[in-house]
Amino acid sequence: MHNILQMSSTSRSAFEALAARLAPALAARCAPRDVDLFLIRLESYFEDLYLPLVQLYGEYADFQHQFNALFEQMLDAYATRPEPLRLLDLERQFMPDWFQRPNLVGYVCYTELFAGTLAGVRDHVSYLRELGITYLHLMPILKPRPGASDGGYAVMDYRAVNPALGNMADLQALATELHASGISLCVDLVLNHTAKEHEWAQRAMAGDPEYLDYYYTFPDRALPDAYERTLPEVFPDFAPGNFSWYPEFAKSGRWVWTTFYDFQWDLNYTNPSVFRAMVDIMFFLANQGIDVLRLDAVPFIWKRLGTNCQNQPEVYLLIEAFRAVMRVVAPAVIFKAEAIVPPDFLLPYLGIKTTVGKQCELAYNNQLMVLLWSTLASRQVKLLTEVLHQMPTMLLGSTWITYVRNHDDIGWAVTDEDAAAVGENGFLHRQFLNQFYSGEFPGSFAKGALFQYNPVTHDTRISGTTASLAGLEAALAQQDDHEIDLAVRRILLLHSVIMTYGGVPLIYMGDELGLFNDRSYLSDSVKAEDNRWMHRPPMDWTKAKSRHDPNSIVGRIYNGFIRLITARKSARMLHCFGLIQPLWTDNSHVFALSRSNPMGHLLLLANFHEREQSIKADLLHFGGLRGNIKNILTEESLPAITDKYIHLEPYESLWLVGEQ
Ligand code: GLC
């Protein structure tokens, strides 16, 4: 193996020196075959680690010391990695596309809302299996600060589970059980900030110079004011500004950088000790059996004066370095970027236009989600088709997380340019969407609420569950069977697109049962000001009981999900390694998406209108379909072609495949 990989001579001598230095400790702690494996991986990923670190921290006086210390950490984590996880490492190295296969179907939930505790989740693994889930994202489970914690995104101890949910042994047991059921486990790693109660923050607050350097703090407003000139606000309503004054800080008081809530202190990644501390936490979680780390708010981890302090080039270098250490120590683990940013900045998180195969394996496709809701409101597919045309038609070594709803608000990421390209005014369209989904627009079927109205820019976002936004709540209140039917179809339509688009579809807990907005948060003082809680209802296990009743509303939704998931798993052309091409149709209400790879072609047709629609059957040829054509959602041959037209029922979607 040695010397086969191309490296610069500087890198190679750094690698050789390191390997020689590590050899005795490696030999003392690992079996000979494991020593070889470590060195092979280290050599493979050495430059991915070394070069970013030199760029980020090379100027530091103690760079060499930090660098050596990092390898001690790596060796330690590697030597203590449990045997079953080492096997998983090998398995996934042999199967590097494991997260790109169509059998991956995700589910995301808050542990406490789904099943009370981690042990409770174990009791419900059978429910997940029945639904066909193979990837489970548990919302923040690490120990949060007491009281308000931004839904757990203010962590005070990364090595402890939230005591209300269980302990580390429960987490390990759950991971083991999930693995035995073919389900991978994803957890949040809040790496942009810690809770102000975290030990590092406490030490900084007490004036310890070592920890003072873990955060961004300022004695006066000079720098904060300079930064604020170009910084946006994430929560203008309840956490305005990006800095918070702590009078007790180091006795004389300091301003602390707090992008989100005042109790979430941004970490200072210009300090290599912070990088190493986070690496240690990653190793710790990996060795508990976590498969996917969701890098929370990752665009914010590097600051630069005069910018919006998001997506700075150093963010991508940090990810590259984080990924390289994980590849050496725990290659079964992958990263998911939570980067809700415009496509030009988002794509580099997947390695596009930066370093292919060296960034995150997964990233949320926020635009697809936003466009689905936009299309549902307007009934016009032109914006969806136009914008998807600009997305990459193929990804290598990475893929999307596609989703309809999640725990956050929906921000209308429709740019003025994109809107103009289809003859719309971006500002007016966003206003329309806000009015539509808050239910104010005449004739709207949605029951949502505005989130974080900014009076200066008039920007605002939307809260609400899938079912409530898709019209089921209103239809049921009116006891209108026709509207109920349409709402059920809308829910399934949106999920049909995310199941075919390409990537890992992620179902938000309760959407498979059509759960409504939950207004109980209003009577909880810790949650009342944050209406994102309305779309975080507890799991309704009573409702779930009727999921097998085909005549119940719940049963119709649930069965629809089962049909989508089953069809997806059988469709090998949905493997991410393939083309994703939206096609223009001759009907402004019908969206078409062609998916193809060497294993075949699939054409998705999706009617975004409440009336029947038809499109010219010519499209089948553009989608690469020949011979007998069948809809794999129903396993029926396409009967609906008459006079060279394909007919679609209200909100119907077809997954068409031809003879192979
Ligand atoms: C992410 C989470 C969001 C949280 C924020 C701060 O964006 O999805 O819920 O408020 O990070 O941690």
Instruction: List, for residues 518-575, the tens digit of each pLDDT value.
Output: 999 999 998 999 999 999 999 999 999 999 999 999 999 999 999 999 999 999 999 9
Look at residue 5 in the predicted model and tell me its pLDDT: 66
Q: Which ligand 1 atom is at minimum distance from the Cα of 193?
A: 12
150 lines ligand 1 (CB under 6 A): yes
516 lines ligand 1 (CB under 6 A): no
CA of 297 to the centre of ligand 1 (A): 6
The H-assigned helical ranges of 463-546 are 466-469, 472-477, 481-500, 541-545
Look at residue 457 in the predicted model and tell me its pLDDT: 82
Residue bearing the CA closest to ligand 1, atom 10: 150
- Tell me how far apart the alpha carbons of residues 647 and 200 are, in angstroms, rounded to a whole number: 62
Q: Which of 197, 291, 296, 512 is catalytic?
A: 296
Residue bearing the CA closest to ligand 1, atom 5: 297
Q: Is 391 helix (H, G, I), strand (E, B) or coil?
A: coil
Q: Which ligand 1 atom is at minimum distance from the Cα of 340?
A: 7
Q: Which residues of 424-456 are buried (b: 16+ CB within 10 A; e: fewer)?
A: bebeebbebbbbbbbbebeebbbbbbbbbeeee
339 lines ligand 1 (CB under 6 A): no
530 lines ligand 1 (CB under 6 A): no
Q: Which of 291, 338, 424, 483 is catalytic?
A: 338
Q: Please say whether the beta carbons of 263 and 145 come within 8 A.
A: yes
Tokens representing 223? Answer: 């720098």
- Tell me how far apart the alpha carbons of residues 574 and 594 are, in angstroms, rounded to a whole number: 10
What CA–CA distances, in Å, run from 144 to 121, 316, 648? 19, 27, 49
CA of 575 to the centre of ligand 1 (A): 30
Q: What is the DSSP string of 279-328?
A: HHHHHHHHTTT--EEEEETGGGSS--TTS-SSS-HHHHHHHHHHHHHHHH
CA of 151 to the centre of ligand 1 (A): 8
291 lines ligand 1 (CB under 6 A): no
User: Which of the 8 DSSP states describes residue 625?
Assistant: -
Q: Please say whether the beta carbons of 416 and 406 come within 8 A.
A: no
Q: Where are the beta strands (DSSP E) in 141-298?
A: 142-144, 155-161, 184-190, 193-195, 217-218, 243-246, 254-257, 264-266, 292-296
Tallying the residues shown for the chain, one arrives at 660
152 lines ligand 1 (CB under 6 A): no
The set of residues, in sequence order, having a beta carbon less than 8 Å from that of 145 and lying 6+ positions away, is 154, 155, 156, 195, 196, 197, 263
Mutating to test ligand 1, I would choose from 262, 296, 301 the residue with most ligand atoms within 8 A of its C-beta, which is 296
Mutating to test ligand 1, I would choose from 192, 260, 529 the residue with most ligand atoms within 8 A of its C-beta, which is 260
Indicate the angle between helix axes 9-29 and 32-57, nearest 10 degrees. Answer: 140
Where the chain has pLDDT below 70, the residues are 1-5, 639-643, 660
Residue bearing the CA closest to ligand 1, atom 3: 408
Characterize the bridge pairing of strands 292-296 and 184-190: parallel
188 lines ligand 1 (CB under 6 A): no
The set of residues, in sequence order, having a beta carbon less than 8 Å from that of 196 and lying 6+ positions away, is 145, 154, 202, 205, 246, 256, 262, 263, 264, 265
Summarize pLDDT for 433-479 with one digit per residue, the tens: 999 999 999 999 999 999 988 888 888 999 999 999 999 999 999 99
CA of 296 to the centre of ligand 1 (A): 7
108 lines ligand 1 (CB under 6 A): no
Residue 557 sits at φ, ψ, to 5 deg, of -65, -50
CA of 473 to the centre of ligand 1 (A): 27
Characterize the bridge pairing of strands 399-403 and 292-296: unpaired
190 lines ligand 1 (CB under 6 A): yes
Is residue 59 part of the annotated active site? The answer reads no
Is residue 659 part of the annotated active site? The answer reads no
Residue 296 sits at φ, ψ, to 5 deg, of -65, 135
Helix %, strand %, coil % of the chain (to 5) = 40, 15, 40
Look at residue 4 in the predicted model and tell me its pLDDT: 58
Look at residue 642 in the predicted model and tell me its pLDDT: 65
Q: Is 545 helix (H, G, I), strand (E, B) or coil?
A: helix
Look at residue 3 in the predicted model and tell me its pLDDT: 52
Residue 364: its H or E element: strand 362-364
338 lines ligand 1 (CB under 6 A): yes
CA of 332 to the centre of ligand 1 (A): 25
CA of 239 to the centre of ligand 1 (A): 13
Residue bearing the CA closest to ligand 1, atom 8: 408
Between CA 280 and CA 325, with CA 276 as vertex, the angle to 5 degrees is 70
Look at residue 292 in the predicted model and tell me its pLDDT: 98
CA of 364 to the centre of ligand 1 (A): 13
